[in-house]
Each structure stands twice: as C-alpha cells, then as structure tokens.
Amino acid sequence: MQGKEFFADKLPGGMKLRDVKLTIIGFGEIGRGVARVLLEKKGFIERNYGVDLDVIAICEIDGSIIDENGIDLRETLRLAEDKKLKEHKNWCSMRAPDVIKKIKSDIVLELTPSNIESGQPGLRHIKESLRRGMHVVTSNKAPLALKFSELQKIAKSNKVKLKYEATVGGALPVINLRKHALQINKIESIHGILNGTTNYILTKMAEEGVTMDVALREAQEVGIAEADPGYDIRGIDTGAKVAILANSLMDMEVSFKDIEITGIEDITPEAIELAKKHNCVIKLIGDVNRLEVSPRLIPVNHPLNVSGALNAIMIRADVAKNITIVGHGAGGIETASSLFSDILSILE
Amino acid sequence: MQGKEFFADKLPGGMKLRDVKLTIIGFGEIGRGVARVLLEKKGFIERNYGVDLDVIAICEIDGSIIDENGIDLRETLRLAEDKKLKEHKNWCSMRAPDVIKKIKSDIVLELTPSNIESGQPGLRHIKESLRRGMHVVTSNKAPLALKFSELQKIAKSNKVKLKYEATVGGALPVINLRKHALQINKIESIHGILNGTTNYILTKMAEEGVTMDVALREAQEVGIAEADPGYDIRGIDTGAKVAILANSLMDMEVSFKDIEITGIEDITPEAIELAKKHNCVIKLIGDVNRLEVSPRLIPVNHPLNVSGALNAIMIRADVAKNITIVGHGAGGIETASSLFSDILSILE
C-alpha cells in the first residue's frame, strides 16, 4: 500500500517512462542507504512518477563506478559491503570533480562527510554541479552551514534546485514541513535536539548512571556516531544544523561561525543526578533564535524529552502554534527518506 | 520574516494579482479563525502567491452574507462576536445550498459541525460544491469519515480538489506530511491521541486526581470541547479521524461504522491511580491498523505521552521509521493553519 490516493493522478497509462539520471558522490552509510532504498522502490517510482531513475555514477574518495546505462546497485552494494568496490567491472580512477565535469546527470547527490572548517570537498562538488545545470540533493551540512546564501544564488542563477532536507534531523521532515504544511505561518522560534549521538549518550548516562566515556563507547559500538565523534560531543554538528535552520526557515543570513556553541564534554554523572532531583533531564539543545547550542535542563514531561538517539524539533509558528516533530535523526536508510523526498519533489 | 527563501520564486514583479474567491460555510470558531488569519495574512498571500483572496459569501444556519466584491471581514467578525451577524448590510436569508448553486466561488470552505450519523449538512454542501466545479477545503470530519471514496470520486470526475488536512489533528500536518515529506515511504502503522478534549480530561484527572465530571466541566470552561462533548468522551470524534486516516494514508476503504470504539466514559480516578503505579498514563488512542479506538496504557516516557489538550500522532513508515508529530489538535486559529495549507496548495 503505497499512498495510492496521492499518486493516482500521476499514473499515465501506457506512457513512456522519463529517464532521470543520478550521480552519487560518497558511498558511505548514507550513499548505500540511498542505493538500498532505490533498489526496493524503483518500481514504485516508475509507476507513480513515470520515471526510470538510474544511478549512472558513484564516486568514492579514490575513484568511481560509471555506467551510463545504469549501475547494477545490487552488485555494487555487495562489493561495497566487502570493501571491494575497486573490483567492480565499471570502476575507474576518475574522481568526483572530473565526474561532475564529464558525466551529465539530472541530479547529483552530494553525500560526503562534513568538514566544518572548509566545507570541502562537498562545497566544490555542489557549486560545480549547480553551475553545470544539475540539481543537487545533499545530506552534507558543512557547505550549507558555511555558504547558504551563496549556494542558493548559484542554484537560482543556473535555474536548478538545491535541496537539503537530509542535512537536519535525518528522516525528520522539517524543511519540507515548513514549505508544504506551514505555508501561511511565520516561524517564530525553533529549538530542539538535533544530534542523535549526544542524545544517546545523555540518555545512557541518565538511565544507567555511566560516565560519558562508557556511554560514548556504546554509541560507537551501535554505530550512531559521526566519522569524528568530536563533532557531536563538542556541539559542532548541532551548530551546523542551527545555521542551516536559521537561513532556511527563519530568513537569517548567518554562517556557522555565528553560532555560539557549548558541547556536552563537561557534563558529569553528578550534574545529571542533580537534574534528576529537579525532575529534569539534560539535553543538548540547538536554539535557532539565539544562534546558540548548549546543554539545557528540560522537564521530564516536556515534548523535547525524547530518549535514545531520537531527534526532536519544536517549531513555534504564529498560526499553528507549537509543533514538535520527533524521529530518527540518523541512519543510512532513515536519511534516505529525506533524500528521496527531495529527489521526488524535483521530479514532480 | 515569512519564509522568503521558499516563496521568492513566486514574486512576480509588477504582475497583476489573480482573483480567487472563497465561500465560507459555517462561521463558528473555525470559520472565524479563518477570517482572522486571512485579515492578517492577505498581504502575504498577495506578495507570495500573486493572489487577491476574497471571501464573497459567508453562510450561517439561518442566512448568509454575500458581497461579490469581497466581504469586509473586520466588520463581519465584530458583528459575529456580538451575535449580530444579521445586522450586516449584506445579510440575506439565502442559505448554504442556494449559495452554492448561485454564487460561483473558486474554493468552498465547508466548516459546519460534524454529524456522524448522517454527515449532513456538510455532505450535501461538499458534493454540490464539487459538482459545480468548485474546490472544497474542509474541517468537517463526518462527510469524509462516512463517504471518503465517493467524495474523492466526485472531486476527480469534476477535476477539482477536495482537501481535508484540518479534519485530523487540527493544526497538525499529517495528510500533507505524508504527501510532501514521506513520498517514498509505505505507511506501516498510525496511532495516536487524536482528540484534545479527552486528553485534557485524562491529564487533569491524572495530575489533579479529580473525577471525570470535574475535568469535563473545566474542559468546557476553557472552550476546548466539541459542540456535543459526548462525541469526544465516547470516542466518536477519534473514530471519525481513524476512518479518515485509514482511507487517506493507508489505502483502506472503510467507513466510520467499521471502527470499533470504546470511549473514556468508564475511566475512574482509581484506574488512573493504578496506571500511575505502573509508571503509565491512560490515553484514548486511535489505532488505524486495528480500526480501533480505546483507552490504553502508555508508558510515561513514551512519545505519545503528551499532556493537556495536545494531540500526538505516531506514524511508522518503512524507510523513515517512526515519526511522531505533536501539536494543537483544536482551536479556531490553529486549525486555520491547516485550512490555509490546503488553500495555498490549491493556489499553487
């Protein structure tokens, strides 16, 4: 059951499928999540959007797989799991910047890890793709946190779209929620838990009384930490998301460096115990209005008190009032939900 | 700050505004909420949608205000507050069925109270409006809970839209969330607190140890009860919403009579005390998969444990996994957020 009612209009009986080509840059957890979801949903996209969606290039750090007829994703995923991507029959040494120049896709998925100092290599990939008339859908926070309005201008002047739902809150629809459900509203404030790793750590510390080191190790074992866990712990990841939300939903023109950030490094089990005595928990909160990231006391019965690796974002709007959305802020498959939301909105 | 980035493309410099005419049927709390929001946001809609949105008819039970040049909403709201609508200079005895026949609008807002037995008069209003080629946006649950697929067919065959975000969860965007943010997902389950009045009552009983009668009286005093509070208490209102969600988001073809309903009539302070001892609360839960409404035990740290008159809906999707959305399920202004979401999506 695939939401027939919504899509019935788009089923053009007997119509020829439109070819849409994707380039995937970065084939880590998120890139592979996209490939897995596309494998499963290809028929759904054909039926409901009249589109034959093929991946024609997958770029990794040391080379790429290129097949203009559509890469066999099942085989590619199998090789990637075995860390044998180079054995793929279409593997070549061409790297992302050259692929962007030489291989014409309709949509480029920029899914490389965030480097908050330089924004690279994502920033270069996104700019060059937009300039070459390709839409970009990204989960990479750093380029948008650093150069939001510049990137939007490049997209606009090249008449293509730059979509970034996956940069904030993983599977949580926050950008598209504002765009398609809260149109009449002025957004008055946004704050919330924007990082699953720190929430997981703080929850573990509160529930099991363990130290941060023990909780962090567990977070790494279950695979929810970012490439550099320091980005999570020090609040960098949350800060990047605050910058993106400020630009995209509150019309501020700010960059990552404008966000005042305090991480959770100094939160002790004693502090958490003390919070508990006051019927509160400690959560790392990103506050968009104040351009601030800091650990805060949250009452236990507050909607932002969500446990484990969940994210929770509270939006105050002038007409709808408070709306809180809670869900999985990370995970390759979950994040693919947001990436496909952007891809499909481009296809419409 | 009005979400400039989203709407910038739609600002056609110097372009003539397109006239769009609304008929409002039902000028109770929700109808007046729409009028208030429109008064405040008219300029915003002009700038961002290039549309001059005018209300040309407002129908009440005993007559209508009609002005094809656009009704003065400020004056009308003032008279409505004083219960002197009949003193309006454009008041006439024509009632909604005749207005639908004689006054050609672009969009009809059907905002009359729900009658779950017959669906009337909303059902008649909606059918006739659709047949006359007018889009319909409604907050009226009964017609959709009773005749969902029939109404959709009438809309489709007349090439107009029937939109109903406001029927479920007030300001909460659940229908549009699915449509614009979870496109790639199969919805696996939906359940939640869909009625603010019963949640308010159960919260009061749990927090203050009062009886249901006392809690209900308070709910009526703060003005969050439906016209007939029995609809809330007996789970009828929640059942109607379950039927709408089943049809719209899970492709079931069911009617209100297919929902098995147990209300909160028999919940005693003792039962609530007992739940508390097990670290749980009692909430009236609508379960779409099971087509069931019933009081259930919810752990205190569960995302559905929201207090006061809040609604909370948990959607399980195959790709995004669990997403919970929490917010105001009632209120004239808040519900207008959803009605305008539908209106503006028609204008796009």
| Model confidence pLDDT, tens digit, residues A157-173 | 999 999 999 999 988 99
The pLDDT value recorded for residue B220 is 84
Average pLDDT over residues A32-58: 97
Rounded-to-integer distance, Cα A131 and Cα B279, Å: 57
Write out chain B residues lying below 8 Å of A336, CB-based.
Answer: 184, 319
Asked if A173 and B182 come within 8 Å (Cβ–Cβ), the reply is yes
**Mutation for A interface: B9, B184, B253, most A CBs within 10 A:** B184
pLDDT value at A232 more than 60: yes
Q: Can you give the pTM of this predicted structure?
A: 0.92
The pLDDT value recorded for residue A7 is 47
Provide the 10 A C-beta neighbour count for residue A90. Answer: 17
Among residues of chain A, what percentage have pLDDT more than 70? 95
- Asked whether the beta carbons of A66 and A99 are under 8 A apart, the reply is yes
Q: Is A326 on the interface with B (CB under 8 A)?
A: yes
Smallest CA–CA separation between B49 and chain A, in Å?
11
- Asked whether the beta carbons of B288 and B250 are under 8 A apart, the reply is yes
The pLDDT-based confidence of A227 (bands split at 50, 70, 90) is low
Rounded-to-integer distance, Cα A209 and Cα A205, Å: 5
Write out chain B residues lying below 8 Å of A1, CB-based.
Answer: 186-187, 250-251
B 159-178 near A (Cβ less than 8 A)? 165, 171-173, 176-178
Asked if A183 and B340 come within 8 Å (Cβ–Cβ), the reply is yes
B 284-303 near A (Cβ less than 8 A)? 300-301, 303
For A49, the enclosing helix (H) or strand (E) is helix A29-49
Is the bond preceding residue B121 a cis peptide, omega within 30 degrees? yes
Provide the 10 A C-beta neighbour count for residue A277. Answer: 7
Q: In what order do the strands lie in the sheet with A107-110?
A: A91-92, A63-66, A51-60, A18-25, A107-110, A135-138, A162-163
A 105-164 near B (Cβ less than 8 A)? 152
Domain ranges for chain A, please list them: 4-171+333-347, 181-329
- Among B241, B276, B277, B283, the active-site one is B241
Average pLDDT over residues A276-303: 95
The pLDDT-based confidence of A282 (bands split at 50, 70, 90) is very high
3-state secondary structure of B44: helix
**Mutation for B interface: A4, A319, A321, A339, most B CBs within 10 A:** A319
Report pLDDT digits (tens) over A197-209: 999 999 999 999 9
Smallest CA–CA separation between A7 and chain B, in Å?
9
Rounded-to-integer distance, Cα B110 and Cα B24, Å: 6
Q: What are phi and psi of B124, to 5 degrees?
A: -65, -45
Where does A132-195 have alpha helices with state H?
Answer: 141-157, 175-181
According to the per-residue pLDDT averaged within each range, which of A36-45, A303-312, B4-13 is highest? A36-45
Q: What is A181-329's CATH topology?
A: Dihydrodipicolinate Reductase; domain 2 (3.30.360)
The pLDDT value recorded for residue B227 is 55
The pLDDT value recorded for residue B14 is 58
Q: Is B307 on the interface with A (CB under 8 A)?
A: yes
Q: Is there a catalytic annotation at residue A241? A: yes
Report pLDDT digits (tens) over A175-194: 999 998 999 999 999 999 99
pLDDT value at A210 more than 90: yes
- Asked whether the beta carbons of A6 and B179 are under 8 A apart, the reply is yes
- Asked whether the beta carbons of B157 and B256 are under 8 A apart, the reply is no
The pLDDT value recorded for residue B25 is 98
- Asked whether the beta carbons of B206 and B272 are under 8 A apart, the reply is yes
Q: Is B324 on the interface with A (CB under 8 A)?
A: yes
The pLDDT value recorded for residue A13 is 55
Q: Is B320 on the interface with A (CB under 8 A)?
A: yes
The pLDDT-based confidence of A220 (bands split at 50, 70, 90) is confident
The pLDDT value recorded for residue B235 is 96
**Mutation for A interface: B9, B157, B164, B319, most A CBs within 10 A:** B319
For B338, the enclosing helix (H) or strand (E) is helix B332-347
**Mutation for B interface: A183, A311, A313, A333, most B CBs within 10 A:** A183
Superfamily name and number for B4-171+333-347: NAD(P)-binding Rossmann-like Domain (3.40.50.720)
Give the closest of A1, A172, A247 to B186, CB-based: A1
Buried b (16+ CB within 10 A) or exposed e, B324-347: bbbbbbbbbbbbbbbbbbbbbbeb
Write out chain A residues lying below 8 Å of B306, CB-based.
Answer: 303
The pLDDT value recorded for residue B8 is 43
Q: Is B251 on the interface with A (CB under 8 A)?
A: yes
Residues 6+ apart with CB under 8 A from A172: A311, A313, A325, A326, A327, A328, A329, A338, B323
Smallest CA–CA separation between B93 and chain A, in Å?
33
The pLDDT value recorded for residue B4 is 42
Asked if A331 and B321 come within 8 Å (Cβ–Cβ), the reply is yes
- Asked whether the beta carbons of B317 and B185 are under 8 A apart, the reply is yes
- Among A83, A241, A257, A321, the active-site one is A241
Which pLDDT tens digits describe chain B residue by residue (348 residues)?
A: 344 444 444 545 556 899 999 999 999 999 999 999 999 999 999 999 999 999 999 999 999 999 999 999 999 999 999 999 999 999 999 999 999 999 999 999 999 999 999 999 999 999 999 999 999 999 999 999 999 999 999 999 999 999 999 999 988 999 999 998 999 999 999 999 999 999 999 999 999 999 999 999 888 888 776 556 899 999 999 999 999 999 999 999 999 999 999 999 999 999 999 999 999 999 999 999 999 999 999 998 788 999 888 999 999 999 999 999 999 888 889 999 999 999 999 998
Q: Is B185 on the interface with A (CB under 8 A)?
A: yes
Q: Is B3 on the interface with A (CB under 8 A)?
A: yes
Rounded-to-integer distance, Cα A206 and Cα B50, Å: 52
Write out chain A residues lying below 8 Å of B305, CB-based.
Answer: 301
Find, among A90, A35, A93, the residue nearest to A66 by Cα: A90
Provide the 10 A C-beta neighbour count for residue B46. Answer: 14
- In the chain, the amino acid numbered B189 is S
List the structure tokens of A28: 């880590």
Average pLDDT over residues A80-109: 97
Find, among A61, A54, A142, A134, the residue nearest to A100 by Cα: A134
List the structure tokens of A333: 């498959």
Q: What mean pLDDT is reported for chain A? A: 93
Instruction: Point out the least confidently predicted range of A6-15, A71-80, A263-272, B151-160.
Output: A6-15
Find, among A111, A105, A114, the residue nearest to A35 by Cα: A111
Give the closest of B321, B327, B345 to A324, CB-based: B327
3-state SS of B63-102? Answer: EEEECCCCCCHHHHHHHHHCCCHHHCCCEECCCHHHHHHH
Residues 6+ apart with CB under 8 A from A75: A88
- Asked whether the beta carbons of B170 and B194 are under 8 A apart, the reply is no
**CATH for B182-330, options being 3.20.20.80, 2.40.30.10, 3.30.70.1140, 3.30.360.10:** 3.30.360.10
Average pLDDT over residues A287-301: 95
